């Protein structure tokens, strides 16, 4: 049982680092968006949700008597994702950002599914409940991106055909 609880604590710390990374990524991207007001607004909404998720994870860890590191380190896991965000320097950075976010939300969904099952296995009903609640928020964000990809892509391609580089963001 000690092992199970320690593993769950570690997964909570990983999720905490993931949310810190999510906030940085969303913030960096949304600041640069100029011509996609709905996308920008939805990202800003999710930044607020992401901060709240991090705080809810901290409350779970405090209740469980464990701590998270002040320094986040998910070395490796997000390298590919961060390279996609390096798409910031690509002319189609808006689309690279959409792709990175779509992927990130699905990574989060997988992480919280595992956390819900892990918390249930460890008998921590409150952590399971919190992670289920966060899971729904990630699913809602992922669905929004899924539903809006056609429209954003078409708008992007129209702008690309008619506007200067700076106007594409
Ligand atoms: Mg999140
Ligand atoms: Fe998310």
**CATH at 11:** 1.20.1260.10
pLDDT, residue 169, reads: 82
CA of 65 from ligand 1 middle (Å) equals 22
Tokens of 41: 């607004």
Domain encompassing residue 137: 2-168
Give buried/exposed letters for 70-85 (b at 16+ CB in 10 A, else e): eebeeeeebeebeebb
Closest listed residue to residue 94, CA positions, set 27, 21, 153: 153
Q: Is 22 in contact with 112 (CB distance < 8 Å)?
A: no
CA angle 7, 24, 153 (to 5 degrees): 110
Q: If pLDDT is split at 50, 70 and 90, which confidence band does 163 have? A: confident
CA of 162 from ligand 1 middle (Å) equals 36
pLDDT, residue 143, reads: 98
| Number of separate domains in the chain | 1
CA of 117 from ligand 1 middle (Å) equals 17
Give pLDDT tens digits for 90-135. Answer: 889 999 999 999 999 999 999 999 999 999 999 999 999 999 999 9
CA of 158 from ligand 1 middle (Å) equals 31
């Amino acid at each position: 049982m000690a092992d199970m609880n320690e593993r769950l604590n570690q997964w909570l710390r990983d999720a905490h680092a993931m949310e810190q990374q999510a906030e940085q990524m969303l913030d960096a991207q949304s600041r640069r968006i100029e011509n996609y007001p709905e996308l920008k607004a939805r990202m800003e909404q999710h930044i607020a949700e992401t901060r709240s998720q991090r705080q809810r994870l901290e409350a779970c860890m405090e209740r469980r008597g464990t701590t998270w590191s002040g320094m986040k380190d998910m070395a490796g896991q997000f390298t590919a994702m961060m390279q996609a965000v390096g798409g910031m320097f690509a002319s189609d950075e808006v689309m690279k950002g959409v792709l990175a976010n779509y992927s990130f939300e699905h990574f989060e969904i997988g992480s919280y599914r595992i956390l819900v099952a892990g918390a249930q296995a460890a008998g921590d009903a409150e952590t399971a409940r919190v992670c289920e609640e966060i899971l729904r928020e990630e699913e809602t964000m992922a669905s929004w991106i899924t539903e809006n990809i056609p429209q954003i892509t078409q708008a992007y391609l129209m702008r690309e055909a008619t506007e200067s580089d700076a106007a594409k963001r």
